[in-house]
């Protein structure tokens, strides 16, 4: 029986390795225009066209985002896509005044949150090894892992949205406590940041701000 289990695991690994090799053969790297679209020439947007984002598109967006890597495959992020006027009014309670108009104009405002109970699903997410004891009774480790990896997943959301032809504008000028009270009182989820999603109105853009050069912030040792 042990041998059969090992053979099965070897087969699963061989399939995964073959899939990666096949992907690299089909698409060794992104072309320059694709890199421009998702990062190099991408912009944060503050004004929005009156053009809805269909629910199916949001579902497809999450289907891409969920494939991004997280520590131990913990997948702690939770996403609430707010599209209704009632939901937008609840978000507005938490915002700094300068952010209200840009949020209300966006067809979608995603609340990127994380679930402090994420680790309880590790028997599903990481079935080949029991990692729950690493988290049990360790609130700081739970917080650090959940917050860090939900931030990663929020970045995947932004890049994936751009790759799908959408525009994004992340916001941090809000009260996490108010958002959590308004939306997550029952689930216990914790908000991380907000991200407006839609089709941008480019007339609100200004020049792209400076970035550090490699030698300013990087080193090779």
> Which domains are assigned to the chain?
43-202 (3.40.109.10)
Quickly count: other Cβ atoms within 10 Å of residue 207's Cβ.
Answer: 5
Average pLDDT of the chain is 95
Kindly state the average pLDDT of the residues 3-25: 85
In which band, very low, low, confident or very high, does the pLDDT at 4 lie, cut at 50, 70 and 90? low
Contact partners, residue 6, CB within 8 Å, separation at least 6: none
Kindly state the average pLDDT of the residues 201-212: 92
pLDDT at residue 3 above 60? no
Residue of 77, 34, 14 lying closest to 163 (CA atoms): 34
Kindly state the average pLDDT of the residues 107-131: 97
Distance CA 169, CA 159 (A): 11
Give pLDDT, residue 2: 46
pLDDT at residue 204 above 90? no
Residue pLDDT, tens place only, 145-160: 999 999 999 999 999 9
């Amino acid at each position: 029986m042990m041998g059969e289990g090992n053979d099965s695991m070897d087969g699963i690994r061989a399939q995964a390795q073959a899939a990666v090799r096949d992907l690299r053969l089909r698409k060794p790297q992104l072309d320059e225009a694709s890199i421009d679209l998702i990062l190099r020439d991408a912009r944060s947007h503050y004004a929005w066209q009156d053009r809805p984002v269909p629910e199916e598109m949001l579902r497809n967006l999450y289907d891409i985002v969920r494939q991004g890597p997280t520590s131990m495959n913990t997948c702690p992020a939770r996403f609430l896509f707010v599209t209704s006027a009632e939901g937008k009014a609840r978000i507005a309670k938490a915002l700094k005044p300068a952010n209200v108009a840009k949020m209300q104009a966006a067809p979608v405002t995603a609340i990127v949150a994380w679930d402090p109970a994420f680790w309880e699903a590790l028997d599903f997410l990481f079935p080949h090894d029991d990692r729950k004891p690493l988290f049990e009774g360790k609130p700081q480790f739970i917080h650090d892992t959940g917050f860090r990896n939900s931030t990663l997943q929020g970045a995947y959301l932004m890049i994936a949205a751009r790759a799908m032809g959408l525009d994004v504008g992340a916001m941090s000028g809000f009260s996490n406590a108010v958002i959590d009270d308004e939306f997550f009182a029952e689930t216990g989820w914790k908000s991380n940041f907000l991200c407006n999603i839609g089709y941008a109105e480019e007339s609100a853009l200004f020049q792209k701000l400076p970035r550090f050069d490699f030698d300013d912030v990087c080193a090779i040792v």
